[in-house]
């Protein structure tokens, strides 16, 4: 079968490997769609494991079922979760599923940029969601990224009285926007370095959208009738994003580190001001099984529309182009790899 092997952002090679063989408690899925995540092109994050087949926003069709597997059959349409928690350690029991060591050690074989993937036993037991007929394979690739956004906003306790600032208007930022709008948030402001993404933010319901280079506290206050942001979601890894967040948060507000800079970049922390103004700093990584189920429910009920974020559908052979589009971040939003598309 074909796989797209990541060496670095500008070196993704389509290669051939054997189709994985499954065990008695495993499942083989034919990949129908696999989204390229912004984290896939965070080179500092990915290159340490290269060469590797990436892809974790995956939907497909079950084509082989181990003889000990119960509850699944050939032909079913499914979403497959790459990382799954144990649900028994003290992290999971405390609600920190994404800090679970098991979650950080599990994955399917290989990544989603492949024609087929093998789901190990623990992924079969804890990491499959059946797709309703009204959810397309492409829409299903948003289950994981929307679940990550759901978790972040749940932790931040977003409510209708909030003024939300979203720094970074890529796919994650736009999903934050859509979810905050669904929650009835009274005022949503977005920023980005890319004018086309700001236009997308306005289209999807932002009250105001500013170029990051033009953003200022004065413009924020003008857009919010004089107030600062009560909740801020940082969806960009630039140091300036964190500086803007610290300057823009209201007393008693919450800043969520949804994205992060490379590890060599140290974010200066205005600790005294944070302490005096009772500002909460949160991090949010990944999604729990409950978040994934809630995400699928929102997509299936069309309460969060995701298909309008798709800008490119590419064949597996064109995965290198997909990585180029996402890494450049110009006119693309969600780029989805669909192995059954014929190469042009």
Both tokens assigned to 266: 């140290």
Q: Establish whether the linkage from the previous residue to 119 is cis, with ω within 30° of 0.
A: no
Residue 104 lies in a domain: yes
Whole domain around residue 133: which residue ranges? 2-142+306-337
Q: Which residue has the tokens 């997909």?
A: 322
115-168 confidence digits (pLDDT tens): 999 999 999 999 999 999 999 999 999 999 999 999 999 999 999 999 999 999
pLDDT for position 331: 87
296-342 confidence digits (pLDDT tens): 999 999 999 999 999 999 999 999 999 999 999 888 999 999 999 87
Residue 174 lies in a domain: yes
The answer on 136 and 8 residing in a single domain is yes
The answer on 210 and 312 residing in a single domain is no
Q: What is the CATH number of the domain that holds 70?
A: 3.90.180.10
* Measured torsion, CA atoms of residues 162, 167, 172, 173, in degrees rounded to the nearest 10: 60
Residue 291 lies in a domain: no
pLDDT for position 342: 77
Residue 277, pLDDT > 90, answer yes
Q: What is the mean pLDDT of residues 231-255?
A: 97
Residue 344 lies in a domain: no
Residue 281, pLDDT > 60, answer yes
CA distance 37 to 117: 18
The answer on 137 and 88 residing in a single domain is yes
CA distance 235 to 255: 11
Residue 293 lies in a domain: no
Which SS3 state, helix, strand or coil, does residue 262 take?
A: coil
The answer on 198 and 135 residing in a single domain is no
pLDDT for position 62: 98
The answer on 173 and 258 residing in a single domain is yes
The answer on 137 and 8 residing in a single domain is yes
If you average pLDDT over every residue of the chain, what do you get? Answer: 96
pLDDT for position 176: 98
Query: What is the count of structural domains for the chain?
Result: 2
Residue 344, pLDDT > 80, answer no
| CA angle 30–2–17, rounded 5-degree value | 105
CA distance 248 to 252: 12
Q: What is the mean pLDDT of residues 231-241?
A: 96
Q: Which residue has the tokens 């670095």?
A: 8
**DSSP per-residue codes, 194-245:** -HHHHHHHHHTT-SEEEETTT--HHHHHHHTTT--EEEEEE----HHHHHHH
Residue 206 lies in a domain: yes
Regarding beta strands 11-16 and 2-8, do their DSSP bridges make them parallel or antiparallel, or are they unpaired? antiparallel
The answer on 224 and 110 residing in a single domain is no
43-66 confidence digits (pLDDT tens): 999 999 999 999 999 999 999 999
246-267 confidence digits (pLDDT tens): 999 999 999 999 999 999 999 9
* CA atoms within 13 Å, Cβ hemisphere of 149: 26
Residue 108, pLDDT > 90, answer yes
Q: What is the mean pLDDT of residues 10-24?
A: 98
76-86 confidence digits (pLDDT tens): 999 999 999 99
Residue 225, pLDDT > 80, answer yes
Residue 299 lies in a domain: no
Residue 17 lies in a domain: yes
pLDDT for position 27: 98
The answer on 191 and 171 residing in a single domain is yes
Q: What is the CATH number of the domain that holds 246?
A: 3.40.50.720
- Cβ contact 314:338 at 8 Å: yes
pLDDT for position 167: 98
The answer on 125 and 42 residing in a single domain is yes
The answer on 76 and 29 residing in a single domain is yes
Prediction pTM value: 0.97
The answer on 218 and 87 residing in a single domain is no
The answer on 114 and 15 residing in a single domain is yes
């Amino acid at each position: 079968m074909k796989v797209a092997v990541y060496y670095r952002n500008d070196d993704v090679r389509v290669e051939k490997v054997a189709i994985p063989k499954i065990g008695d408690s495993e499942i083989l899925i034919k990949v129908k769609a696999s989204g390229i995540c912004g984290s896939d092109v965070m080179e500092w994050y990915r290159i340490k494991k290269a060469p590797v087949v990436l892809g974790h926003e995956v939907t497909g069709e079950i084509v082989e079922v181990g003889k000990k597997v119960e509850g699944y059959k050939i032909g079913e349409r499914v979403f497959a979760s790459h990382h799954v928690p144990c649900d028994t350690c003290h992290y999971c029991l405390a609600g920190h599923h994404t800090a679970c060591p098991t979650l950080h050690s599990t994955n399917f074989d290989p990544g989603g940029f492949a024609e087929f993937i093998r789901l190990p036993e623990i992924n079969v037991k804890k990491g499959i969601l059946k797709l309703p007929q009204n959810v397309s394979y492409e829409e299903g690739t948003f289950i994981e990224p929307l679940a990550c956004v759901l978790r972040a906003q749940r932790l931040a306790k977003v409510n209708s009285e909030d003024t939300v600032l979203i720094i970074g208007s890529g796919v994650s930022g736009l999903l934050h926007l859509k979810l905050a709008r669904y929650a009835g948030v009274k005022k949503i402001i977005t920023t980005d370095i890319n004018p086309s993404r700001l236009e997308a933010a306005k289209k999807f319901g932002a009250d105001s959208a500013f170029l990051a280079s033009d953003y200022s506290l004065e413009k924020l206050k003008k857009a919010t009738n004089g107030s600062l942001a009560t909740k801020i979601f940082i969806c960009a890894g630039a140091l300036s994003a964190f500086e803007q967040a610290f300057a823009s948060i209201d007393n008693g507000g919450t800043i969520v580190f949804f994205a992060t800079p490379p590890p060599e970049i140290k974010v200066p922390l205005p600790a005294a001001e944070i302490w005096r103004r009772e500002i909460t700093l949160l991090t949010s990584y990944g999604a729990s099984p409950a978040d994934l189920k809630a995400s699928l429910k929102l997509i299936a009920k069309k309460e969060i529309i995701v298909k309008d974020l798709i800008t490119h559908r590419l064949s597996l052979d064109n995965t290198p182009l997909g990585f180029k589009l996402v890494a450049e971040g110009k006119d693309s939003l969600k780029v989805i790899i669909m192995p059954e598309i014929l190469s042009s």
